[in-house]
Structure 1
Amino acid sequence: MEISSERIDDIPLIVEWLKQMEIAKCIDQKLREPHGNHKGLSYGQLSVLLLTYIITQSDHRLSAVEPWVQTHRTILELSTGWSIGEKDASDDRLARVVEELGLQSQARLEIEVKLGRHLIRAYELPTVVARADTTSFSVNHQQGESPEESLLHHGYSKDFRPDLLQYRQLLATLDPMGMPLVSATLEGNGADDPLYFPTWQQMVKVIGHKNFVFIADCKAGSIATRATIAANRGIYCVPVPTRFATPPISEAMGTLPTSRNCGDSFTAT
């Protein structure tokens, strides 16, 4: 008799959560079919294995997933109900999944909408308040041969390290639990201001209606952003710096021909 033992840890719990979220179903419905010679687990199933590894191990290296799957193969098969082959979770196959998600931007957005709607409906989550924000991450990395194709650029550094390349991350969440609704990885040298209205539009698609309070920081307080959201019957709550404050009515109506922005206040001339 051969007896083998495996550590269960939180693997069954994570897998069950991912199954209830219908991660595999959403991905398989939206991504194009794998190559005809592809055998084994689907893109959605491989995504579940990858996410389970990332969550349980706090590690995102693709090369480390295959030995981890082999170590926990029995509990993974029992938890998922899938037959997992020896090379199903190789770094080549996982890289293909990540590549497909990266290349098919429209499919990725549709997955985001479908997944968000499913979670809101399944758990009857309140959809009264949602918020969005961006931040930057500095990295020790050398610029590649084609910097125009890279997300890593020198920009305004919130880490006070202008010497480092950086990228920006946008995240919109649903209050009060903080469930992600919209996310995007962006170039490090762009402006945040133009992102807020497209983010609000995507949040509307996920939530399914416009009757929620959109909360953001002062970078969403420009007149153009607020006016566009209001024109689309949205509700917002943002801190408005004086330099973004609404100009006097007479000036807005064109009675006064020009205005001068003095520091953080509008001064008519």
Structure 2
Amino acid sequence: MNNNEEFNTERVDDIPVLLAILERMGIQKLLDKHFITHGNWQGISLGWLAVVWLSYILSQADHRLSHVQSWVENRLETLSICTGTAIRALDLSDDRLQAVLRYLSDSEVWQKFEQELGANLLEVYDLKAERVRLDSTSASSYCGVNEQGLFQYGYSKDHRPDLAQVKVMLATIDPLGMPVATEIVAGNKADDPLYCPAITRVRATLKKTGLLYVGDSKMGAIQTRGFIQEKGDYYLVPLSATQIPESVLKYLDEREQKGQELTAVYRDLDEGLPTKIAEAFEIEVNQTIEVEGKEITWKEPIFPRIAISL
């Protein structure tokens, strides 16, 4: 036995599992395909750098740049073996991570990457997309406002109008919750105009129609509903009084006063047996709008009253 033999001990934790999942998703290959780095770029590729960085974020639940290099330095052997490439601690320095963020901030290139990644995930995990949920949210920060930046003063859902915020629109496959399209805009932007671009990107990724798009009342704008209908898709949204024709509201008031008989709604649940899940009544409203220079007309079903069975 050689008493002078040295041993190096590293914490493996969940790193191999995370890297294997990220590799199966194809993130490294797609990043290197779409984001072309400068000719003077040295060390591991942008794709591998991003994958190692993501494994750090997921493993440590920490998004700060300043701790990544030291974390990598203590796991060089593990990371190099799992990725199949020689990794140095300097490859994940603060400067290099900031360079990655600059490359990924190219919105046009990101959309192409996101589209191909989404299609790849559907194929890898054999997902059958039928419903898509869309919603926007905002995140506040003490960073202040930059006229050219994303953080701006706007309507605050957190009741903090004194803080700058950024807004995020997210489209996910239901019920899995897998993101299909993500849009980050300035915090002072309105929500309504964000839905159609997100739906366009979902269609480009999933390459199918007949989907049900589910959203809140902000998705209920008539132009958004027409945009969804025009391509043969469906929508489910709660409509406010301003989004329903006045003639329909008057008709509903009359029906409310007379009393409206409800129809039972059944669905196959446990063991395929029909189970009553709600009682409702439905009316149809003729809608006509212009979408991309073309006039479209459709019959829109409205459910003024629904009683859910628990």
| TM-score (norm: length of structure 1) | 0.87
Matching residue of 1:111 = 113
Mapping of residues 176-195 of structure 1, within 5 Å? 176-195=175-194
Identity fraction in percent = 38
Between stretches 68-77 and 230-239, larger displacement belongs to 230-239
Q: Distance in 1 between matches of 2:221 and 2:101?
A: 36
Q: Is residue 54–residue 60 contact of structure 1 (8 Å, CA) maintained in 2?
A: yes
> Does residue 63 of the first structure (1) align with residue 66 of the second (2)?
yes
Instruction: Indicate the RMSD between aligned Cα atoms, in angstroms.
Output: 1.8
Matching residue of 1:226 = 225
Q: Distance in 1 between matches of 2:110 and 2:205?
A: 13
Q: Distance in 1 between matches of 2:62 and 2:190?
A: 30
Q: Is residue 141–residue 163 contact of structure 2 (8 Å, CA) maintained in 1?
A: yes
Mapping of residues 158-169 of structure 1, within 5 Å? 158-169=157-168
Select the structure of larger CA radius of gyration.
2
Q: Distance in 1 between matches of 2:66 and 2:76?
A: 16
Matching residue of 1:266 = none
> Does residue 52 of the first structure (1) align with residue 65 of the second (2)?
no
Matching residue of 1:23 = 27
C-alpha change, 1:4 and 1:239, in structure 2 (3 Å) is same
- Name the structure, 1 or 2, with higher relative contact order (CA <8 Å, separation 6+): 1
Mapping of residues 124-163 of structure 1, within 5 Å? 124-143=126-145, 147-163=146-162
Q: Distance in 2 between matches of 1:197 and 1:131?
A: 13
1:247 to partner: Cα distance: 5.3
1:37 to partner: Cα distance: 2.2
Q: Distance in 2 between matches of 1:71 and 1:79?
A: 15
Q: Distance in 2 between matches of 1:95 and 1:59?
A: 16
Q: Distance in 2 between matches of 1:252 and 1:71?
A: 63
Q: Is residue 223–residue 246 contact of structure 1 (8 Å, CA) maintained in 2?
A: no
Deviations 1:38-73 (A, max 9, x none): 221111111101101111111112221111111111
Matching residue of 1:5 = 9
1:233 to partner: Cα distance: 2.1
1:246 to partner: Cα distance: 4.0
> What SS is found at the alignment partner of 1:9?
coil
Matching residue of 1:243 = 242
Deviations 1:117-152 (A, max 9, x none): 001011111201111100111212233xxx320111
> What SS is found at the alignment partner of 1:148?
coil
Gaps of 5+ in 1: 254-269
Q: Distance in 1 between matches of 2:56 and 2:203?
A: 32
Q: Is residue 134–residue 192 contact of structure 1 (8 Å, CA) maintained in 2?
A: yes
Q: Is residue 172–residue 182 contact of structure 1 (8 Å, CA) maintained in 2?
A: yes
C-alpha change, 1:203 and 1:247, in structure 2 (3 Å) is farther
Q: Distance in 2 between matches of 1:25 and 1:111?
A: 10
Matching residue of 1:259 = none
> What SS is found at the alignment partner of 1:112?
helix
Deviations 1:199-224 (A, max 9, x none): 11111111111221111111010111
| TM-score (norm: length of structure 2) | 0.76
Q: Is residue 132–residue 216 contact of structure 1 (8 Å, CA) maintained in 2?
A: yes
Q: Distance in 2 between matches of 1:116 and 1:79?
A: 24
Q: Is residue 153–residue 162 contact of structure 2 (8 Å, CA) maintained in 1?
A: yes
The one-letter code of the counterpart of 1:17 is: I
Greater strand percent: which structure?
2
